[in-house]
Amino acid sequence: MAVPPAQVAAVLDMQSLTAFEQLLGGLSSSDNTARTQYELLFNETKKQPDLLCLQLVRAMRTSGAVETREMASILLRRVLTKDEVSLWANLQLQTQDGVKSELLKSLTEEGTKSITRKVCDIVCELAAGILEEGKWPELLPFLFQCVTNGTPTLKESALNIFAQLAEYIGEALVPHLAMLHGILRQSLADANRPIQLAALRACCCFVESLENPSDRAKFQDLLPAMLATLGGALSGGDEDDAQEALGLFVELAGSDPRFVKKHLSQVVDAMMTITEHNDLEDGTRVLATEFLVTLTEARDRAPGMMRKLPNFVPRLFTALCTFLLDVEDDPEWHTCEKEEDGDSGLGERYEVGQECLDRIAIALGANSVLPCAAQLIPQLLADQSDWRKRHAGLVALAQIAEGCSKGMLKDVAGAVGPCLQACVSDPHPRVRWAAVNAIGQLCTDLGPRLQEKAHAQILPALLSAMEDKSHRVQAHASAAMVNFSEGCPPEHMALYLDGLMNKLMSMLQGGHKMVQEGALTALASVADNAQTAFAKYYSVVLPFLKQILISAEGKEHRMLRAKAVECISLVGMAVGKERFLTDAKEVMDLLMTLQQGGFEADDATTSYMQQAWTRLCKCLGEDFIPYLTVVMPSLLKSAGLKPDVQITDVDDGPGDDDEDDEVEVISVGDKRIAIRTSVLEEKATACNMLCCYVDELKEGFFPYIQPTVETMVPLLDFYFHEDVRKAAVASLPDILRAGKAAQTTGKTTDPNYFKALVDYVVPPLVAALSKEPETEIQAAMLESLADCAGVAGELISQHITAMIEQFQKTLSNSLERRAERNKRANDEDFDAEEHEALQDEQAAEDEVFDQFAECVGSLLRSLNAPVLPLIEPLLAQYVAPMLSPDRSPEERRIAVCVFDDVFEHASAGGASLRYLDGFVGPCFAGCDDPDCDVRQASVYGVGVMAAAVGTHFANHVPRALQALAKVIQAPDARSEENFNATENAVSALGKLCEFQRNAIPGAEQVVPQWLSCLPLTEDCVEARVVHAQLVRMLEGGDPHLMGQNNEHLGKVVKVFAVAMPTANLSEKLQLCTPETCSKMKALLAQMQSGMAEQLGNAFAQLAPEEQAALRGAMA
């Protein structure tokens, strides 16, 4: 509906505010129709921005009604700084000057505090856009004057503007730091608390905004006065002001933890006193605690600082454990129907203490935290007068396990001991529950070592807890059983299967609904652990599960039905296709009936069904293909969900979803972003399921390759959820494999289908690499790219230029991050624990380089020597420097592996010879490296060079023999740590014998020495290579191998006796291929006809079990 021009003219009449004030009132009308009309009118006035802004300023400054002035200030802020298209740039210069002048006058003259705050906001946001351009030169002198000589209200306003502007003008104020320091010192000492708080706010904001540490340090002497502001608020009983001050300290600790270092003892003691003060509000104590914990987590900028502070860790640990006492024995805890609703009675301090114990254990490490735990937790557990203390001790033990795992792994039985006793014998059900919970957590954080060492104690305790009088404890014992079984070696689990299955079936048949749901989850986990050993229970379990699917109706039984779906799929996977096939159709029909019936939005069965279909796909293989028409539509729909994101202004206050557990709220600048995490979780699960289908079904997935790849590729930069990106990254090589197989098997007649698929997948993956913010996912992208290159083969060639460009960016960024972290080692507080933490963090960068090396290897395998000139800059700039002895062992290993690939795959036509002289020295040095992985890569490189460069390696053969002999003959050569390096050295020696025979001094002795090192039994890959080489040499009648009069025949037969019986085993156990085994049989047959007596003697020297194995292999 058009707005009459006369109405617009009346509103913008500069001689009268009457119509304009009526407009402002109408915009907040409760009458929707009227309000809509006024909104149309207001939007029309924006077409005359100068008049509109001047009217808004006039109304804000002169209207009699406070509500009108407030609305004018809100709208002025919106049109100048908040609207998508700001009116400021369209204003005439004269109007702009008038608006700026009136804003500053308003700060001086406005008497209503709420309006003053809004004017401050307008000034700050407007100044943020124009101040640095020199378009408001009078603002800073005005603010300095206000703070120095203004009224208390004006001082507070000016300080608040300074605080808000700090991030925009902090560096511009560097020349005025001395003046600013004096103003802040004076204001912090002011008797007026609002001015003190505003000064504290400004001080914290400026410290955070200054880039130069020396500039920030100039404000450190203000810390006592800043603390005094906090102390004054507390002593005056004004905890709202105190909490605001504490929030500023928390932000400061997060942005610049070293700022407090000079006054660390004083600051920490003050904060600890607040944390420990029982008479203060929970919100106040929690903020002080957050400040302290934030400082402990600042390892990247203040390594070791908090650990070295006397008595800090014990005092904080004790305070956090005391927070855990904030729990009541609420009757609802005992009667609740769902585990996720079972937090009744837990106070705010309990939840904070629980979270912060986990955080400080991770931040400070076992050496600092475990001594405190060893002193306090036994005292808590021994207190029989207060169940809350025993509960607190068990909760604390569970919370520190992840961060202290390295220390607790030294005595896993001792760590779990208190939990085992409490879960069986404590009189209070909440303590028994906490004990069971701690057992489950320890199984996760200390597994599988805990399960290996203490299964005989843990299983009976959990079985006993499954009979507890409290259904809460019973159900949680089932949950802990899941944790236990996930890390328990099946051979240990097998000892208890009968008793455990009897117990779980009993719980299923007669327990509380929560107990039944827990038992189903435990049953599924047990089946997953037992695998084929579960077959003996199959005939009892599966009918029961099918019955639950049929009979579990109604909303109250949805979770029971969902867990039955999960359990059936895991049971099917455990017993295998052959056993499950007889029931498969009935089960699949039941699931399809469920699926076609649909699920409500809040029904968890949807997610359980998606995962169950995936497991059944793995179980049934190609027999699952007919069910894709049922499964895929909903799965693609879930994978394609859009993120549910709401963006509002921080100033608008908390949203309706702030208390929603499924919504995560973050603040970025002046925006509040609310993300519904349940949508993201569903999307991530669906994406992972798609990965499984395409991997399992290959070309059978062909009808869905296109919609799947069109779903996955755009998710490479889905920054709302890491797991979604990970799934997208992981899916791409499998999609290419499926597409390639589809073209090979005639599923498509398009000859360019696979090439088009490669061109659709690879460029976005390459482009996403350098933009990826998470180092772990960068490494995964490189791994995926290496795999894609291997599948694409020669089709990858047109993408190499872009790949190399992104490799350079990614590696440069990784090196910068590594160098920045290494600076921490120069800090005065850097200690052994920080060194260990630093190594853990650098391992992520090593993984980036490791996967880059895989990419290079994949390119070399796909394209061979022609790709070498293209990757030369990468080799020279990034790889060759890592061969230096001063680089880390992991870096040296990566560099050696890359050059191994160069010589192995790109030596045709002498292409690799240019690297020979530069690599051979570091390679020989690597053979003697203290690190076994570097040794393994280096001895492998010796063998590769010997085989690849022919006579060019001849001069290096004597030194190569010495290097390999040192590895092979080392006293601990066959230790678990060294056997891979040793067997690779034996393999390399074999290559010297085969390809460099003429350069070997005393070859007639060296070749039998090589034979004496066989068979290889640990590194199955090298074993197959070496045993195949042995066969080649025997077939070729090698002059040195058998010795005079075939004296080494016995050794050859010994190798055959060990290798041949493994030919039909899986690759993990196979010491020779079936083809090599056939050749070995043929050789033995020839020997039988030509040297029967000697062969008989050799056979007689074998151990009886070797004779039997060889006979079996020959049959």
Residue 815: the pLDDT is 85
For the record, the structure tokens of 591 come out as: 């699931």
**Torsion of Cα atoms, 636 then 642 then 643 then 649, to 10°:** 180
**Torsion of Cα atoms, 149 then 151 then 152 then 153, to 10°:** -130
Q: Is 236 exposed, middle or buried (CB count within 10 Å of its CB: 0-12, 13-18, 19+)? A: exposed
Cα separation, 60 vs 43, in Å, equals: 19
The dihedral sign for the CA sequence 669, 672, 677, 680 = negative
Give the 3-state secondary structure of 805-826. HHHHHHHHHHHHHHHHHHHHHH
Tokens 């406070």 belong to which residue? 66
Please say whether the beta carbons of 1031 and 1076 come within 8 A: yes
Cα separation, 956 vs 920, in Å, equals: 8
CB 784: neighbour CB atoms within 10 A? 28
Residue 745: the pLDDT is 93
Cα separation, 3 vs 620, in Å, equals: 68
Cα separation, 218 vs 179, in Å, equals: 12
User: In 642-681, at which residue ranges do the beta strands (DSSP E only) sit?
Assistant: 645-649, 663-668, 671-676
**Torsion of Cα atoms, 231 then 234 then 239 then 242, to 10°:** 0
Tokens 């890359």 belong to which residue? 898
Q: Which amino acid is at 1033?
A: M
For the record, the structure tokens of 972 come out as: 């601990």
Cα separation, 281 vs 289, in Å, equals: 13
Q: Render 735-775 in DSSP notation, one character per residue.
A: HHHHHHHHHHTTS---TTHHHHHHHHHHHHHHHHHTT---H
CB 1020: neighbour CB atoms within 10 A? 19
CB 586: neighbour CB atoms within 10 A? 11
Residue 598: the pLDDT is 72
Q: Which amino acid is at 738?
A: A
Q: How many CA atoms lie within 13 A of 144 on its CB side?
A: 13
With a CB cutoff of 8 Å and minimum separation 6, the contacts of 773 are 719
Residue 1115: the pLDDT is 79
Residue 713: the pLDDT is 96
Q: Using the 8-state DSSP alphabet, how is residue 192 labeled? A: -
Question: Distance from CA of residue 506 to its chain's centroid?
Answer: 39
Cα separation, 770 vs 888, in Å, equals: 24
For the record, the structure tokens of 174 come out as: 């560097």
Tokens 């570097």 belong to which residue? 934
With a CB cutoff of 8 Å and minimum separation 6, the contacts of 326 are 282, 346, 347, 348, 349, 350, 353
Mean pLDDT by runs of 10 across the 1115 residues of the chain is 85 91 90 89 92 94 93 93 82 94 94 92 90 87 91 93 84 82 93 93 90 88 94 92 94 90 93 96 97 88 80 96 96 83 87 97 93 96 96 97 94 93 94 97 95 94 94 94 92 90 89 86 92 90 88 79 89 90 87 77 77 90 91 91 74 55 62 74 91 94 96 93 94 96 92 96 94 91 94 92 91 84 69 69 84 92 92 93 92 94 94 95 96 96 96 96 95 90 96 94 93 93 95 93 89 94 88 95 90 89 91 87
* 789 closest CA partner among 730, 833, 854: 854
**Sheet of 671-676, strands arranged across:** 645-649, 671-676, 663-668
Cα separation, 591 vs 610, in Å, equals: 11
Query: Can you give the length of the chain in residues?
Result: 1115
Q: Render 163-190 in DSSP notation, one character per residue.
A: HHHHHHHTGGGGGGHHHHHHHHHHHHT-
Tell me the backbone φ, ψ of residue 249, rounded to 5 degrees: -65, -40
Cα separation, 474 vs 433, in Å, equals: 9
Q: How far, in Å, are 107, 110, 153, 851 from residue 114 at the CA level?
A: 12, 10, 12, 57
Tell me the backbone φ, ψ of residue 346, rounded to 5 degrees: -90, 125
Cα separation, 683 vs 724, in Å, equals: 7
Q: How far, in Å, are 165, 435, 493, 706 from residue 460 at the CA level?
A: 63, 14, 12, 52
Cα separation, 211 vs 170, in Å, equals: 9
Which three-class secondary structure state does DSSP give residue 64? coil
Which three-class secondary structure state does DSSP give residue 1017? coil
Please say whether the beta carbons of 295 and 305 come within 8 A: yes
In this structure, which long-range contacts are made by residues 1092-1101, counting pairs with CB atoms below 8 Å and at least 24 apart in sequence? Answer: 1094/1046, 1094/1049, 1095/1049, 1095/1053, 1097/1050, 1098/1049, 1098/1050, 1098/1052, 1098/1053, 1098/1054, 1099/1053, 1101/1050, 1101/1053, 1101/1054
Tell me the backbone φ, ψ of residue 853, rounded to 5 degrees: -60, -40
With a CB cutoff of 8 Å and minimum separation 6, the contacts of 168 are 127, 128, 131, 132
Q: How far, in Å, are 208, 282, 288, 296 from residue 243 at the CA level?
A: 19, 10, 9, 21
Which three-class secondary structure state does DSSP give residue 346? strand
Cα separation, 307 vs 314, in Å, equals: 10
For the record, the structure tokens of 244 come out as: 């605001």
Please say whether the beta carbons of 201 and 147 come within 8 A: no
Q: Render 574-588 in DSSP notation, one character per residue.
A: HH-HHHHHHHHHHHH
The dihedral sign for the CA sequence 521, 525, 527, 528 = positive
Cα separation, 765 vs 780, in Å, equals: 11
Q: Render 141-169 in DSSP notation, one character per residue.
A: HHHHHHHHHS-HHHHHHHHHHHHHHHHHH
Cα separation, 387 vs 329, in Å, equals: 10
Cα separation, 381 vs 420, in Å, equals: 12
